[in-house]
Amino acid sequence: MIFLKCTLAGLLFLVGSAILLFVGAIALFAIFVARDKEVTVGFDPVSIVKSSPMLWVLAILLFVLGFAWEHRRVTPH
């Protein structure tokens, strides 16, 4: 039961951090991209995730971080 709870905590940490990273990226694009009327910026997160192995490594690390945090919190010392 502990591992199920830790796995769910890891998944929630992963999803939460993905949402925060996505919102942060949108905010950075809104601030730093030129605001000309002729300039449009397209953002396709699916193609970014498919083409970047670093994002897969980041996702695995975030899951492990959430899992380890919950496992450390729940297990008796």
Percent of residues, the chain, with pLDDT higher than 90: 32
Q: Check whether 76 has a pLDDT greater than 90.
A: no
Q: Where along the chain do its domains lie?
A: 2-74
- The model's confidence at residue 34, banded by pLDDT at 50, 70 and 90, is low
Of 39, 52, 4, 5, nearest in space to 21 by CA: 52
Q: What's the pLDDT score for residue 9?
A: 93
Percent of residues, the chain, with pLDDT higher than 70: 90
- The model's confidence at residue 69, banded by pLDDT at 50, 70 and 90, is very high
| Backbone dihedral region for residue 33 (phi beyond 0: left; psi -120 to 50: alpha; all else: beta) | beta
